Structures are given as C-alpha cells and as structure tokens.
Amino acid sequence: MTIVQALSAYVVAAGLLTLTPGLDTALVLRTAAVEGPKRAAFAALGINVGCLIWGGAVALGLGALLAASTLAFNVLKWIGAAYLLWLGLNLLLKPRDRFEVAGGDRRGGGDLTWMRRGFLTNLLNPKVGVFYVSFLPQFLPQGVQAAPFIFLLAVIHVVLGSCWSATLIAATRPIAGVLQNAAVVRWLDRLTGGVFLAFGVRLALDRR
C-alpha cells in the first residue's frame, strides 16, 4: 500500500466514523442548542486538542513498539483486531434506536469553560486512545516511519472532526432532528459496524 493509497483509504474510513454520532457529537450539538455557536465552537476546539494529545501519545508509543520487535507488532495486531471485531459485531447486532441530542439547562462559565469541558470529555475517555491504537496502524505503509505518519493520521482526523463540528454548529436543529430518527441511527451504526469488522479482519490477516 502506497502513502497515497493509505491516506485515501484513511480519509474515507475516518470520514465515515466522524459522521457516526457519539459523545463528541452530542456535546457539540447540546452546547450549540443551549449555549450558542460560540461556546459550541470552544467545546469543539477542546475536543480537537484532546484528540491531538491522544494522537501524539499513541504515535510515540506505537512508533516505539513497532520499531522494537515483530512480537510487539503481532501482539498489538491481535489486540486491535479483537477490539475492532467486538465493536463491529456490537454495532451490527445491537444498533441504537435513538441518539439523545436534546439540550439541558444552561450552565454558567465563560467560553474557556466550554473549551475545558470538551477537552476533558475527550482526554478522559480512554476509548479514544484504545481506538487510535486499534485503528491507525492499519494505514501505515511499509517503509514509513511509524510515529510521524500515525500522528499525521490523527491530525487528519482532527481536521475532519473540525469540519463536522462546524457543520453541526451551523445546522444544529436540522441535524439534531435527523439524528433523532431511529432508522438513521440504526443505519449509521450498522454501516460503521461493517467498517469496523472489515478493518478488524484486515488487521488480523496482516502478515507484515
């Protein structure tokens, strides 16, 4: 797999995963609906900073592991494959019927309070790190230094997330309405589950 092929495949996969509603989407939508677009933008900025920190930590750790030994790569491969297969099967067999995006009561605090809220929501979620460890190595071409390339993938994920957050903020009510449609939520979960399964199988069969 060339660098161009790896990046192209990653953008498609990461783009789909970015569109699938989760904790970050809920935070941005709720903040936009209750606190307004400015504070929602700060919350999204905090989320992105958290992603970059996770991406940097995972890139350095994976870079060291992958450079250390074939055994380290194989252990990481099987753990990552099992995690992705588990996620995929759960999304396919138990898709959600709803995604709660309703806003709550207004909360005090300045704009930076919402940036801190988004930052901590992301940074204190270990699933982000586990997901990066499981997902990003699959797009690493042979002969490319692991750490900088994996961090580049994390940066691309942040760029995609920023674009999606801007879209959410600009069209909060229509998008919130769509994400409360049970058929849409089930479709997104199943589609994402299929992607997870495909990449889990691909990772398990990797003979690098």
Q: Which among 180, 169, 163, 166 is positioned nearest to 35, based on CA atoms? A: 169
- Alpha-carbon gap, residue 21 to 17, rounded angstroms: 8
What average pLDDT does the segment 139-164 reach?
Answer: 90
Share of the chain above pLDDT 70, in %: 83
Q: Is the pLDDT of residue 105 over 70?
A: no
What average pLDDT does the segment 90-116 reach?
Answer: 70
Q: Is the pLDDT of residue 178 over 80?
A: no
Residue of higher predicted confidence among 82 and 66: 82
Q: Is the pLDDT of residue 166 over 70?
A: yes
Q: Which among 150, 121, 127, 126 is positioned nearest to 138, based on CA atoms? A: 150
8 Å CB contact between 151 and 62 = no
Residue 174 neighbours by CB under 8 Å, 6+ apart = none
Our CA angle for 194, 165, 185, nearest 5°, is 35
Tell me the whole-structure pTM to 2 decimals: 0.74
pLDDT in tens, 24-47: 887 888 888 778 889 889 999 999
Share of the chain above pLDDT 90, in %: 17
Q: Which among 183, 42, 181 is positioned nearest to 113, based on CA atoms? A: 42
pLDDT at position 2, please? Answer: 86
